[in-house]
Amino acid sequence: MFIIAGLGNPTMQYEGTRHNVGFDVIDRIAEKYNISVDTRKSRAYIGKGMVEGEKAILVKPWTYMNLSGESIRGIVDYYKVDPEEGLLVIYDDISLSPGQIRVRSKGSAGGHNGVRNIIANLGTDVFARIKVGIGEKPRQYDLADYVLSRFSKGERQLMEEAYDRAVSAAGQIVAGDVQAAMNRYNRKESVKKTEE
């Protein structure tokens, strides 16, 4: 069994913001594999189904970003899944351009509070993750304001492509080939600058 968790903030107020790309990718995975993410458990919305022939649980923590680990820890414990073998976390990354994704099998939080909370709650930083680029914070922006802002029209097109790549990468990871996903998606891609 594989747990695929996308990070974001609950309520309609945050829909479509940069910080909610994890939720957006979960929605696309759910659509591709015909999984309804509508059951409440461990302060999250979850859905069960099959992804690439494997049992999978899609998770959208409903704790707000900075407490994501509390929700994910509850799901991991309930389903007795070893996070080092069966957890994939999808989240936003300001160090990647919009449209880029990066696959990792382990690593630090890299300044991401949601991931920091997951590592603290699980007691390990060894779990698969897909980082989805949201672009670097403009100099005049406060970081919190920036990650809660919405994408420009040009960026939205790039993000749609990133979501498609993230869904494909998630399928590869669940099928047991993290290394292949890393080889395929971690190449430096030239993503054209978009006008705001």
Q: Which residues are catalytic?
A: 19
Q: Return d(Cα 83, Cα 66) in angstroms, integer.
A: 19
The secondary structure element, H or E, covering residue 41 is: strand 39-41
Cα 182 to its chain centre, rounded Å, is 15
Q: Return d(Cα 4, Cα 2) in angstroms, integer.
A: 6
Contact 136/94 with Cβ under 8 angstroms? yes
Residue with token string 């070893």: 82
Q: Return d(Cα 35, Cα 53) in angstroms, integer.
A: 13
Residue with token string 């993410």: 37
Q: Return d(Cα 161, Cα 169) in angstroms, integer.
A: 12
Secondary structure class of 83 (helix, strand, coil): helix
Q: Return d(Cα 102, Cα 40) in angstroms, integer.
A: 29
Beta bridge partners of 130: 90, 103
